[in-house]
Amino acid sequence: MGLSPRLTGRATARAHHSPAAQAFLHKIEPFFAGSDVTGGPLLIATIVALILTNSPWAGAYEGFWDTPVAIGFGTAEVSHRLAEWIDHALLPLFFVIVGADVKREMVTGPLAHWRSAAFPLAGAVGGMLVPVALYLLVAGGTPAAPGWGSVITTDTAFGLALIALFATRLPVGLRALMLAFAAVDDVGGLLVIAFAYSDSIDVRGLITAGVALAGIVGLRRVGWVSSVPYVLLALFVWGGVLESGIHATIAGVMIGLTVPVAPRLEQRDFAQRVQHRVDQFQTAHGAAERAGDDEEEQQLRERADERLGYLQEMASATRVASSRLIEILTPWVNYIVLPLFALSNVRIHFSSDLLTMIGSPLVLGVVLGLVVGKPLGFLVFTWAASALGLARRPDQVSWPMVMGVGALAGIGFTISLFIAGLAFGDGEMREAASLGVLIASILAAGTGYAILRFCAEPRHVAEAPVET
């Protein structure tokens, strides 16, 4: 949770030069650096989008994202707006990370026990049902009723970034809890998109995706190592889901859940498998240094390179595939995928007509559902599951911390904005729903931060002083 060990060491070194500046950077670095998905670039892109949408260049800006982009082969052609291609083709990469990360936590992490895994599952169910009920209580029976899906999902990037602000001052299980809850929550949102906001479902696309997914599982079973077939099959999974009419982001979760969370070679077995080859490499390398002619030296160096190739492959086998995939995708998701999503989807025009809708059932329903419904549903359902013995709260995670996670779950941003677009199309209703999501996300972030700051250990206890 928080910064990687290398970045932590760099931050410690910088503190020698400017302690005051470092204190500030220490606060904001979790939003921009580290090994996890962060919310800083997404936040900046959101601010830029709001400024440009309300500037004299708004028409050209929005027109750019609405430019049709067609991909064709022969007589077959698929055409979407540029903003839609970002939603369908890039956003699934974020959900690949979510799927792989939550599988890792539930197989090898703090949620490995079924009762521990049931805890965020129960919270996710409550975190979907209660917000929808509150939304419909306010907006049901009005033209705003179709927007109920916008209060279902949680923005994982912002939630994890706020938890990372406290680094080691909160238990590790809290991040796993937030991640698992958000993953189930997002899957629920994607299912809502598939069945409530899709006009029709093409079974042929689902069959294609299912066959490709089975192919990925089959290659894993036979121990196939090369990544090329996996990438090709993943593209078929994505294409099948897209063709089916279900939003392609669910393909990302499906692919992420197939990624292995255990290495092909355990570290304890590594030394036994490679020691003989290390000795052979040392022998060949030393002989090459003492070779009497160029031809003999070339042969010995090739033999040494062969041993190095073996050692390289065995070393890579000790790495967990899910960790490597997350490490590769995270910078792209942080600095390209999520910012592009915000730039192309955040379209709120702050006009007098829009501001008069703050008290409308639509805006009130979204704010009530996310700010009140999310933490209430999360807390009540997890408490009930724990009281009935069906779930177990993660170690060292207190009930106030659970409430803090529930509050952060009210940051509905990414998929909430997307669902608002599906529910209302382009127009005043969509802008009002987006305004509600923006207000709710700010309130939820502030509330969650305040609760977790209260729960976190004092800085002087949890963090060692800067070395001198």
On whether the CB atoms of residues 372 and 134 are closer than 8 A, the answer is yes
Confidence of residue 418 (pLDDT cuts 50, 70, 90): confident
CA-nearest of 191, 170, 202, 85 to 128 is: 191
- 415: exposed, middle or buried (Cβ count in 10 Å: 0-12, 13-18, 19+): buried
**Residue that is written with structure tokens 């160029």 in the block:** 294
Would the pLDDT of 366 be above 90?
yes
pLDDT at res. 17: 58
User: Which ranges in 293-412 belong to alpha helices (H)?
Assistant: 294-317, 321-332, 338-345, 352-355, 361-367, 374-387, 399-408
Q: For residues 383-393, give the mean pLDDT.
A: 92
CB-based contacts of 283, cutoff 8 Å, min separation 6: none
pLDDT at res. 462: 42
Tell me which of 414 and 28 has the higher pLDDT.
414
On whether the CB atoms of residues 100 and 325 are closer than 8 A, the answer is yes
Phi-psi map region of 198: left, alpha, beta (phi>0 left; psi -120 to 50 alpha): beta
**Residue that is written with structure tokens 């509050």 in the block:** 407
SS3 state at 435: helix
For residue 347, what are its two tokens?
């379209």
Q: For residues 275-289, give the mean pLDDT.
A: 79
- Measured from the Cβ of residue 224, the count of other Cβ atoms closer than 10 Å reads 13
Distance of alpha carbon 90 from alpha carbon 101, whole angstroms: 18
Confidence of residue 26 (pLDDT cuts 50, 70, 90): low
- Measured from the Cβ of residue 425, the count of other Cβ atoms closer than 10 Å reads 9
Distance of alpha carbon 447 from alpha carbon 409, whole angstroms: 11
CA-nearest of 150, 143, 170 to 159 is: 170
How many percent of the chain have pLDDT more than 90?
29
Of the listed ranges 4-18, 339-353, 358-372, the least confidently predicted one is 4-18
Residue 223's φ and ψ, nearest 5 degrees, are 80, 30
pLDDT at res. 459: 59
pLDDT at res. 1: 42
- Measured from the Cβ of residue 257, the count of other Cβ atoms closer than 10 Å reads 19
Confidence of residue 318 (pLDDT cuts 50, 70, 90): confident
- Measured from the Cβ of residue 26, the count of other Cβ atoms closer than 10 Å reads 19
Distance of alpha carbon 67 from alpha carbon 223, whole angstroms: 44
Q: Using the 8-state DSSP alphabet, how is residue 403 labeled?
A: H
Average pLDDT, the chain: 82
Distance of alpha carbon 433 from alpha carbon 366, whole angstroms: 7
Q: Using the 8-state DSSP alphabet, how is residue 333 labeled?
A: I
